[in-house]
Amino acid sequence: MRIGFDAKRAVSNFTGLGNYSRFVISNLMKYYPNNIYKLLIPKFPVDQQNEIRNDEEVYSLKNSWKPFWRTVGIVKNIKNERLDVYHGLSNELPYKINKTGAKSIVTIHDLIFLNYPSFYKLADRIIYDIKAKYACKIADKIIAVSECTKRDIIRYYNINPDKIEVVYQGCFPIFKETIDERQKQFIRNKYGLGYDYVLSVGSIERRKNILLIVKALKQVKDLHFVAIGKKREYANEVLRYAEENGIADRVHIMSDVPLTDLPAIYQSAKIFIYPSLYEGFGIPIIEALFSRIPVIGATGSCLEEAGGTDSIYINPNDENELSQQINRVLSDAQLRETMITKGAEFVLKFSDEKCTLKLMDIYKSLR
């Protein structure tokens, strides 16, 4: 098959949507190398031009500096490449994709901008909505990254459920490796983590709701909280609260932590806590389960899908419930061991091979 992708984020974005794009493309090439993959991008990243592989026998990169190329201009490239399938990896498809002769698939990661509009600028909400609504209407198949996202697509866009397939995403293989004690101690020393801590990973923004963890920390003795992610203005609010409540010395926010250091930080944590108000899926929970640490998530979106039945879920607005569950996990060794063991079994459903197999089955169904 000749399969094409809008690969802009695959080569230029190193957070969620970029990670998803690389996950899909690299695993398809690994498990199904006999297909031809075409990566279409609007422009080459200046600092990566010499690092991008460009092998016409396997896949090619097509670039253009024209404005609106991803919306309109890419259609010409799709026709010229004689694609069997074109996959929009990030909530959008080009205008008139149905005129190219290629079958189209779009991955919808979330519709948080409709569930929590206050977290987005008005102009951004309008653009996101137009793109996602059009893509869902015109696509031959829609991939939702969770059952929660599938429900949102049906609810907001009135799409036939039969058109939507749920395909989960795994995480980087580095999180599946057991880090030895010497390396863990080296990383802890590097970041000054000389204490017991609970961990949260993700952008430090209001939707992620880490202030709840800081509030709960007041009712948990001798424990620190480490948050890792890109700082937004919300980070200052979190730190102010910690200062005003006398626990600033136990709250640590870190940014720009290399991916290679994260597994040791995960595996050294007592508990991973993810109290986000709303998510499309929740990859950090997958990373934590592979790291063999207990997980506490929040109810209200899709986190139960990511964490399974043996993780714990709390009301994202109740710091008392969170503090109780933290103390419970810390004091109950049997509970902790069950959460770790069952979580490690559950997370195998998100293996690269299983996720990629389901994706390829969808491609084949459109031929």
Q: What angle do CA 209, 127, 12 make, to 5 degrees?
A: 75
Q: Are 328 and 197 found together in one domain?
A: yes
Q: Are 310 and 337 found together in one domain?
A: yes
Range of the domain at 199: 173-348
CATH for 57: 3.40.50.2000
Q: Are 46 and 151 found together in one domain?
A: yes
Q: Are 164 and 86 found together in one domain?
A: yes
Q: DSSP letter at 332? A: -
Q: Are 233 and 161 found together in one domain?
A: no
Q: Are 133 and 216 found together in one domain?
A: no
pTM: 0.89
| Both tokens assigned to 144 | 């939702």
Q: Total domain count for the chain?
A: 2
Residue 336: Cβ-neighbour burial (10 angstroms; 0-12, 13-18, 19+): middle
Q: Give the type of residue at 82.
A: R
Q: What pLDDT does residue 247 have?
A: 97
Q: Are 108 and 190 found together in one domain?
A: no
Q: For each of the chain's 367 residues, which pLDDT tens digit applies?
A: 999 998 766 655 556 676 888 889 989 999 999 999 988 876 655 554 444 444 444 444 555 555 566 677 788 888 888 999 999 998 999 999 999 999 999 999 999 999 999 999 999 999 999 999 999 999 999 999 999 999 999 999 999 999 999 999 988 899 999 999 999 999 999 999 999 999 999 999 999 999 999 999 999 999 999 999 988 899 999 999 999 999 999 999 999 999 999 999 999 999 999 999 999 999 999 999 999 999 999 999 999 999 999 999 999 999 999 999 999 999 999 999 999 999 999 999 999 999 999 999 999 999 8
CA atoms within 13 A on the CB side of 164: 24
Q: Are 231 and 265 found together in one domain?
A: yes
Q: What pLDDT does residue 148 have?
A: 95
Q: Are 166 and 178 found together in one domain?
A: no
Q: Are 227 and 359 found together in one domain?
A: no
Q: What angle do CA 167, 170, 171 make, to 5 degrees?
A: 155
Q: What pLDDT does residue 367 have?
A: 82
Q: What pLDDT does residue 42 have?
A: 66
Q: What pLDDT does residue 75 have?
A: 86
Sheet with 197-201: strands ordered across: 251-254, 224-228, 197-201, 271-274, 295-298, 312-314
Q: Are 93 and 157 found together in one domain?
A: yes
Q: Are 11 and 149 found together in one domain?
A: yes
